[in-house]
C-alpha cells in the first residue's frame, strides 16, 4: 500500500477513534428521542361510520381510500349512528368516529377529555320527508310547515344509536308536543324507508349530509315532500348546536327545477372525533384528507368553508388546528410523508441534541491531537531514563549507546500523519543528540 494512502487511512482511524465516544453519545440521544417522539404512525386505525347507505358510510369509504395512499389501512365499523360512535370512542372500540353536534349533551357522563375534535366537516340537515297523501289529513294543500302538524301521524325518528331520536325529542319539546300525540317508531334507515314507501309510515326523519344515497333517492321520489322549517332561525337560537341552512331552489335537479322553491332546514354539524390514543401523524393525515374531502362547494356550503372550528363540542387537536391554519406542511409537498413526518417531529429534538453536543464537540480536536502526539512523546520518557542512567553510571556508556540505537530503530517505525511529522523528526534529533553526547563523554 502506498505510504500516502496509508497515512491517510491512519489519520481517518485516529479521527474516528477520537470522535468515537462523541458519535456514540449522538446516536444514543437520537435513539432516545426517536423512542420518545415515536414518529412512525401505525399501519391500521378504526373509523366508526354509520348505517349502510348513509353519508357517514360514504365518507368513511373516501377516508379509507385517502389513507390507503399512505399505507394506512382504515377499518370501517358500521354503526347505528352518532351516539353509538361516541360510545365506541369512549370504550376504545374505535379510534375515530363521526359525531353529530348535540350528541355529547345526550351523554353527560362521557369522558370528553380523552377525545379531541378534528374540526367540523359538514352540516347534517334534518330531513323530514312526508307523504303528500298523509299530509292532506292535516293540511288542505298537503304541505307541512311546522312540527305541530305531525300530531296524529306515524313518524319514524331512527334508532337510538343514531342520535336523531334525541334531537327530535328536543325539537318536539320546544313545540310542546307529547310523545303520546304521535305514533313514533325507531326503525333503522333502510327498513324505515321501505315502510315509508309502502305507506306504513307517514313521515320519516333523517339527519344526514346530502351525499347520503337515501336522501338523494327520496328527494326525487314522486309523492314525497320535504318539510320546510319556516322557524329555522328560531330553532338555531334555542339550540346552539343547530345551524339554519337553506336548500336552494333547483339544486337537486336544475332541469326539473327540484326543489321548486328554497327550503329552510335546521342542521347540526358533524365533527370527526379522535381518541387520545391515536398517533399524531394519523391525526395529521385525517385532517389533510378532510381539507380535500369537505373543502369543496356543496349544497349547503361554499368552497373552503369546511372544515372549520365552529360548533365543536370537544377540544380541537393541535394537528387539526395547524392543518386548517397552514394547509399541508411544506416538507410534505416535496418529500414522501414518512420522511417529512420524521423530520417534522424530530426537528425540535435534533435542535436540543445539537445544543447539547456542540460544546462537547470541541473536545474532539484536542483529543485527536493528544492521541497523535502521544505516540511521539511517550518515547521521551525512555530517552530521559537513558540520559539519567548515563549521568550516574559513566562506565555503562556502551550499553546505553546500544539502547539509544534500539530506541532510534523503534522510533523509525512510528507512523503518524504528515501534519505531525515535525514532532517525530524532533524526537529523532534528540535521540541522535543524546547518542553523540554519550559518545563524546
Residue-wise pLDDT tens digits, 59-71: 999 999 999 998 8
Beta-strand pair 224-226/44-48:
unpaired
The CA distance from 325 to 22, in Å, is: 40
CB within 8 Å of 124: residues ≥ 6 apart: 55, 100, 207, 208, 209, 267, 268, 269, 270
Residue 188 in contact with residue 51, Cβ under 8 Å?
Answer: yes
Residue 389 counted as domain residue: yes
Nearest to 76 by CA among 87, 62, 90: 62
Q: Among residues of the chain, what percentage have pLDDT more than 70? A: 83
Q: Which three cell numbers stand for residue 126?
A: 334534518
pLDDT for residue 366 is more than 80: no
Q: What is the mean predicted confidence (pLDDT) over 129-156? A: 91
Q: What is the pLDDT of residue 10?
A: 56
Burial, 42: exposed, middle or buried (Cβ in 10 Å; 0-12, 13-18, 19+)?
A: middle
Question: What are the residues facing 48 on neighbouring strands?
Answer: 77, 97
Nearest to 144 by CA among 155, 134, 154: 134
Q: What is the mean pLDDT of the chain?
A: 83
Q: Which three cell numbers stand for residue 431?
A: 535521540
The model's confidence at residue 52, banded by pLDDT at 50, 70 and 90, is: confident
Beta-strand ranges (E) seen in 248-385 are 263-275
Q: What is the pLDDT of residue 73?
A: 94
Residue 353 counted as domain residue: no
The CA distance from 171 to 188, in Å, is: 20
Beta-strand pair 44-48/96-100:
parallel
Helix 318-326 and helix 280-294: axis angle, to 10°?
40
Structurally, how many domains does the chain consist of?
1
Q: What is the pLDDT of residues 241-252, one digit of tens each?
A: 899 999 999 999
Residue 270 counted as domain residue: no
Q: What is the mean predicted confidence (pLDDT) over 94-103? A: 90
Residue 393 counted as domain residue: yes
pLDDT for residue 34 is more than 80: no
Q: What is the pLDDT of residue 440?
A: 72
Q: What is the mean predicted confidence (pLDDT) over 374-403? A: 76
CB within 8 Å of 35: residues ≥ 6 apart: none
Q: What is the mean predicted confidence (pLDDT) over 317-346? A: 81
The model's confidence at residue 265, banded by pLDDT at 50, 70 and 90, is: very high
The CA distance from 118 to 313, in Å, is: 11
DSSP letter for 43, please.
Answer: S
The CA distance from 406 to 412, in Å, is: 10
Q: What is the pLDDT of residues 389-419, one digit of tens each?
A: 777 766 667 787 788 888 888 877 777 766 6
Residue 282 counted as domain residue: no
Which residue segment(s) compose the domain that 423 sits in? 363-440
Residue 385 counted as domain residue: yes
Q: What is the pLDDT of residue 209?
A: 86
Residue 50 counted as domain residue: no
Residue 354 counted as domain residue: no
Max Cα-Cα span within the chain: 141
**b/e string for 69-81 if b means 16 or more Cβ within 10 A?**
ebebebebbebbb
DSSP letter for 258, please.
Answer: B
The model's confidence at residue 45, banded by pLDDT at 50, 70 and 90, is: very high
Q: What is the pLDDT of residues 220-244, one digit of tens each?
A: 999 999 999 999 999 999 998 899 9
Residue 417 in contact with residue 376, Cβ under 8 Å?
Answer: no
CB within 8 Å of 105: residues ≥ 6 apart: 241, 313
H helices of 140-205, in order, are 164-174, 189-197
pLDDT for residue 286 is more than 90: yes
Q: What is the pLDDT of residue 108?
A: 47
pLDDT for residue 320 is more than 80: yes
Low-confidence winner among 3-7, 139-143, 205-209, 423-427 (lowest mean pLDDT): 3-7
Amino acid at each position: 500500500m502506498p505510504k500516502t494512502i496509508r497515512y491517510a487511512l491512519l489519520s481517518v482511524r485516529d479521527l474516528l477513534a477520537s470522535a468515537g465516544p462523541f458519535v456514540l453519545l449522538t446516536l444514543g440521544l437520537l435513539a432516545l428521542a426517536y423512542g420518545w417522539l415515536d414518529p412512525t404512525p401505525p399501519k391500521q386505525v378504526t373509523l366508526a361510520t354509520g348505517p349502510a347507505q348513509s353519508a357517514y358510510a360514504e365518507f368513511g369509504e373516501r377516508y379509507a381510500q385517502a389513507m390507503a395512499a399512505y399505507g394506512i389501512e382504515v377499518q370501517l365499523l358500521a354503526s347505528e349512528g352518532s351516539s353509538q360512535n361516541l360510545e365506541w370512542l369512549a370504550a376504545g372500540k374505535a379510534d375515530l368516529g363521526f359525531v353529530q353536534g348535540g350528541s355529547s349533551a345526550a351523554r353527560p357522563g362521557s369522558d370528553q377529555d380523552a377525545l379531541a375534535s378534528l374540526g367540523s366537516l359538514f352540516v347534517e340537515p334534518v330531513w323530514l320527508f312526508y307523504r303528500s297523501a298523509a299530509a292532506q289529513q292535516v293540511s288542505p294543500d298537503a304541505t307541512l310547515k311546522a312540527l305541530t302538524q305531525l300530531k296524529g301521524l306515524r313518524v319514524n325518528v331512527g334508532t337510538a344509536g343514531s342520535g336523531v331520536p334525541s334531537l327530535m325529542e328536543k325539537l318536539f319539546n320546544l313545540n310542546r308536543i307529547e310523545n303520546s300525540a304521535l305514533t313514533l317508531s325507531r326503525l333503522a334507515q333502510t327498513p324505515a324507508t321501505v315502510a315509508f314507501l309502502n305507506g306504513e309510515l307517514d313521515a320519516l326523519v333523517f339527519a344526514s349530509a346530502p351525499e347520503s344515497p337515501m336522501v338523494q333517492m327520496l328527494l326525487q321520489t314522486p309523492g314525497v315532500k320535504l318539510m320546510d322549517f319556516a322557524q329555522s332561525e328560531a330553532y338555531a337560537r334555542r339550540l346552539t348546536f343547530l345551524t339554519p341552512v337553506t336548500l336552494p331552489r333547483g339544486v337537486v335537479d336544475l332541469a326539473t327545477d327540484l326543489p321548486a322553491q328554497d327550503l329552510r332546514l335546521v342542521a347540526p354539524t358533524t365533527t370527526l372525533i379522535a381518541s387520545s390514543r391515536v398517533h399524531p401523524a394519523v391525526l395529521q393525515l385525517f385532517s389533510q384528507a378532510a381539507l380535500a374531502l369537505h373543502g369543496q362547494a356543496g349544497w349547503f356550503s361554499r368552497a373552503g368553508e369546511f372544515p372549520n372550528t365552529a360548533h365543536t363540542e370537544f377540544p380541537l387537536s393541535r394537528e387539526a388546528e395547524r392543518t386548517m391554519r397552514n394547509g399541508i406542511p411544506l416538507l410534505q409537498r416535496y418529500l414522501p410523508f414518512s420522511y417529512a413526518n420524521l423530520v417534522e417531529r424530530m426537528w425540535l429534538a435534533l435542535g436540543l441534541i445539537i445544543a447539547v453536543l456542540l460544546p462537547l464537540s470541541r473536545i474532539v480536536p484536542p483529543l485527536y491531537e493528544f492521541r497523535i502526539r502521544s505516540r511521539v512523546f511517550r518515547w521521551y520518557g525512555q530517552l530521559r531514563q537513558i540520559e539519567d542512567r548515563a549521568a550516574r553510571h559513566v562506565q555503562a556508556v556502551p550499553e546505553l549507546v546500544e539502547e539509544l540505537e534500539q530506541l532510534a530503530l523503534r522510533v523509525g517505525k512510528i507512523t503518524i500523519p504528515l501534519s505531525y511529522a515535525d514532532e517525530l523528526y524532533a524526537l529523532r534529533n534528540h535521540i541522535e543528540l543524546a547518542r553523540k553526547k554519550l559518545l563524546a563523554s
